[in-house]
Structure formats: C-alpha cells, structure tokens
Amino acid sequence: MHRRLLGTTEIDVSVLGLGSSPFRAGQPEDWVHLLEAAVDRGITYFDTARTYVNGEDAVGHAPQSVKEALVVATKTGARGGTRCVEDLRMSLHHLRRSYIDVWMTHMVRDMREYDLCLELGGFCDIAHAAKQAGIIRATGASFHAPTDVIKRAILDRAFDVVMFQVNLVGRETVIGSSVAEYVSQLLPAATTHRVGVVAMKILAGGELKHGAPVLTRRLGLPSPADIIPASIRYAARLPGLSCAVVGFSNVAELDQAVAAVAEIAPDGDLAEAMARGVRAANSGECTRCGACLDVCPEDINVPKVFRLYDQFRHLGIHGVARHKYALLDIDARACTGCQECQRVCPEDFDIAALLTEAHRTLAAPNEDTRPI
C-alpha cells in the first residue's frame, strides 16, 4: 500500500483510508474484523467522528496491535468551548487510547463557522493545547463549504489537515463551488502551504456505487462494475492528496479497493484521460452558481433539479436521480415561467424550458432510462 505524509506532520498514512459510516449497522464488535483486515492489507488511516455510530467504539474493541497500527482521525461537531473539550474526553474514552492521531472539527460549512474555530477558546486553541499536551498528534477540519472558505483555512494554515470531498460526480459540492474547483485550487494550495489533505465522498455518497453506465463509457471502462475501483484510483492519483477515505461494508469491498490502488504510480496519460472524461460528463447548461435561488416565487430549487437532471443524462445515474427528484417538496412542475430566474442567470439557456424537460425525464417511471 502506497503511503504519504500528512502535510508537515510526521504522520505517514496509507493512500487508501477506511471510513466508518457503514459501521452504524450492528454493534462495534461486528466491525473489528474489518479493522483487522484493513491493517493486514496495509491500510492505516481510519476516519470516524464522535457522532458516527460504532466508529470510535470499534477501535476501542480492537486488539492492541490494531489500535497501535491505526492512524485514528476523529471529530467533534463543536467549534470550541466546553462541548469541544468534553467531546475530546469522550473520544479518548470510547477509543480506549491515550491519544488521537488527527482530531478534527466536523463539517465546517461557512466563513462564520471557520472564524468561530479561530476565536479565543475556539477549536484551534483547544486542539493546540491538546497537541502540546501530547493528547493529539495533529489538528484538522472537515469541510462542506465553498472553495474560498477551505482555501482560507489552507492559506492561514489553521489546521494540520483538511478534509473535503473529491469524486467523479460532483460538479458542485455546495452551491457556487465545485469538486473541479476543489481539485484545481485547493490541492495545489495545500501542497504549497504543506497542509495535509484527506479526501471524502470518493463514491459521491453512494451514487457511484449504484452505477454510472454513461460515465463508465466516457472513461473507457469495460463495465459499470469498474466504476468503483476507477473512482478510488482517480482520487488516490491526485497530486496533493494524502489519503482517500472510503467506507466499506465488508472485506470483499475492501479488497476491491486495495487492488484498485495497488498500481497508482504516476500515470499522466490515464489520469488526464479520466480528468477529460469527468469534464465531459460534468457538462450541462446550469453551472449551479446559485444566483436564482432566492428569486423564484415558487421556491423551486432550480440548481438542485438541474443537478439531478445532469446526473441522469450525463452520468447515467438513473434510479438515484429519479428517487431524489421524487423526494423534492417542490418539483419543476411548480414553474410558472415567470422568468424571474432568467433575469439573474449568467448562463444563456431557457431555464423554464429545461425545467419542463427535466421534469418529464425525472418523473418518468424508472424502467424508462432515456432522457425524454
């Protein structure tokens, strides 16, 4: 298993990390065998959080040899104060370890939350003190935030490690930002400023797991079954990224991923071909800038509808896109054609017409997989 350093920390991690979101099923003891299998295959990075069911406790139940082999990253949802300190205490208790390798604040969403981390008595102060005391080895933050927020954290070197999503699907992560931007702006910035990067949502929250036949063709893969290894390889190859975290439900899935990253020596042509495939697949009229979000009198989430439509027609993610469309409180049928959105949209296309087309496709029965 390839290993990389996490920024300026002296923590050496496997390029493939084990995520604990599937651990919510069953009991903590049920997952010890997966931790053992991961360590056995050279995976060292284990990602969890105070709020993830069974994640910390699974480490707590693991044999000492596994506990010592793992680089454990866990997270507090707090941005500072006593809850932060209490979470740190509880994490150590549940992990049954005297230290945490990477302690993060979880899911920073905007500049206000980032600034809270930097305040007196905020997460950064507490984490710094814990590091001085030898309770944690590195500080970190996971983000679901606009590119400029994460970039600011990197330029400020506020954390030793940052975590954000990287995958083949995400044209946008939060409205107004995109995975493409994350890759093109954040990874070089992190390299320059020597901040460790851990990537999450490699399989786009399970969307790639459910198959993306069109993307498979664009990437020149033999079958949709190859999309998962290709997605993992894509992330693991990216320069500037230390570790790609993936959640596995069983040892077979783990082995598939381990095989996927066995050959990730720099391969410019293949990496560029995949990047081209992703760029081509991530096409569509709406760039998800978000400008129209507050102007629609019918409260239609226009970029969200177009995201699902693009997933359907450009990525071949049919069932999931239709399922998520059916869950919208207000769908594209509510459009009256008032043109308010058109007045603010920087792109040149007919929004109401595309909404009608999107609705016809996304509301069709699932057995019909053609865009209508």
- Using CB under 6 A as the criterion, which residues of the chain lie in contact with ligand SF4 when the complex forms? 286-292, 295-296, 298, 300, 302-303, 335-341, 344-345, 347, 351-352, 355
Min CB(175)–ligand SF4 separation in Å: 7
Cα gap 106→253, rounded to integer Å = 26
Min CB(300)–ligand SF4 separation in Å: 5
Contacting residues for 318 by C-beta, under 8 A, at least 6 apart: 312, 366, 369
Q: Are the CB atoms for 9 and 235 separated by under 8 Å?
A: no
CA angle 158, 163, 35 (to 5 degrees): 125
Task: Report the residue number, 138 or 286, with the smaller CB distance to ligand SF4.
Answer: 286
Min CB(129)–ligand SF4 separation in Å: 43
Task: Report the residue number, 66 or 345, with the smaller CB distance to ligand SF4.
Answer: 345
Min CB(314)–ligand SF4 separation in Å: 15
State the alpha helices, DSSP H only, in the chain.
32-40, 55-61, 64-69, 81-95, 111-118, 123-132, 147-156, 179-181, 187-192, 213-218, 227-237, 251-260, 268-281, 302-310, 318-326, 340-344, 351-362
Task: Report the residue number, 214 or 296, with the smaller CB distance to ligand SF4.
Answer: 296
Q: How many CA atoms are closer than 13 Å to the CA of 51, on its beta-carbon side? A: 10
Min CB(273)–ligand SF4 separation in Å: 28
Q: Which of 334, 351, 330 is nearest to 288 (CA)?
A: 351
The structure tokens 């954290």 sit at: 153
H/E element, 139: strand 136-143
Q: Are the CB atoms for 244 and 258 separated by under 8 Å?
A: no
Task: Report the residue number, 51 or 342, with the smaller CB distance to ligand SF4.
Answer: 342
Task: Report the residue number, 84 or 291, with the smaller CB distance to ligand SF4.
Answer: 291
Q: Can you name the residues that pair with 45 across neighbouring β-strands?
A: 71
Min CB(214)–ligand SF4 separation in Å: 21
Cα gap 50→347, rounded to integer Å = 42
Cα gap 242→340, rounded to integer Å = 44
Q: Which of 352, 325, 260 is nearest to 317 (CA)?
A: 325
Min CB(313)–ligand SF4 separation in Å: 15
Task: Report the residue number, 17 or 303, with the smaller CB distance to ligand SF4.
Answer: 303
Task: Report the residue number, 73 or 341, with the smaller CB distance to ligand SF4.
Answer: 341
Q: Is 294 exposed, middle or buried (0-12, 13-18, 19+ CB in 10 A)?
A: exposed
Min CB(324)–ligand SF4 separation in Å: 17
Min CB(346)–ligand SF4 separation in Å: 6
Task: Report the residue number, 235 or 341, with the smaller CB distance to ligand SF4.
Answer: 341
The structure tokens 């959105």 sit at: 341
Task: Report the residue number, 207 or 310, with the smaller CB distance to ligand SF4.
Answer: 310
